[in-house]
Amino acid sequence: MTFLQILFLFVSAVILAASIMVVMNRKMIHAALWLILALAGMAVLFVLLEASFLAAVQVVIYIGAIAILIIFAMMLTRRAMHDVGAQVNRNWWLGAVVSVVVFAALMLMLLQVPGMQATAQALPIDESALLVELGSALVDVNMYVLPFEVASVLLLAALIGAIVVARPLSDENEGSEA
């Protein structure tokens, strides 16, 4: 077993354990921090796959923005921090059966994909060229320019929507304020 494989197994174990802690933990803020650990583990997996751009983006977006937003929302609802209710309800066995079946089905399907058990080849070109290719693919008419622009418009709409929602309802005196 190479060093990379050991690292991969270790990181995967950490991610799995952290994900379980996210749903098992009774303190919400701890759950959010376990989520951050799981997301950081994903970033490490990206690094192991030599996709450092995706790793950095993972940290910036998921840890730097989404997780911090979750924690901030929790801080504003301090009273509801500690959950004292039961963690499972009567249908827990049904959930367990469904998840085991889905896992087994996915494993079966993945094992039938040809080349699944072969060792992956190293990437033929170096990473900075890949980054350039990613950038130009996003604005290439033949590739992803349409989804990219649609996503931009969607984000802009969300931004404007957030501003409209956050604006205080005001009478016509204050309404003229830009």
Residue ranges binding another protein (CB under 8 A):
29, 33, 36, 52-53, 56-57, 59-60, 63-65, 67-68, 71-72, 75, 127-128, 131
**Least separation, in Å, of the C-beta of 123 and another protein?**
14
**Least separation, in Å, of the C-beta of 157 and another protein?**
18
Q: In sequence order, which residues have a C-beta less than 8 Å from that of residue 59 and are 6 or more positions away?
A: 39, 40, 43
**Least separation, in Å, of the C-beta of 177 and another protein?**
9
Strand-pairing partners, residue 82, are 27
Dist. CA 160–CA 84, nearest whole Å: 38
Q: In sequence order, which residues have a C-beta less than 8 Å from that of residue 31 and are 6 or more positions away?
A: 21, 22, 23, 25
**Is the Cβ of residue 104 or residue 139 nearer to another protein in the bound state?**
139
**Least separation, in Å, of the C-beta of 56 and another protein?**
4
**CA angle centred on 124, ends 123 and 125, rounded to 5°:** 95
- Closest by CA position to 28, among listed 62, 92, 75, 87: 75
Where would I find the H helices in 25-144? 28-48, 52-58, 68-76, 92-112, 127-138
Structure tokens at 127: 């990473």
**Least separation, in Å, of the C-beta of 36 and another protein?**
7
**Is the Cβ of residue 19 or residue 52 nearer to another protein in the bound state?**
52
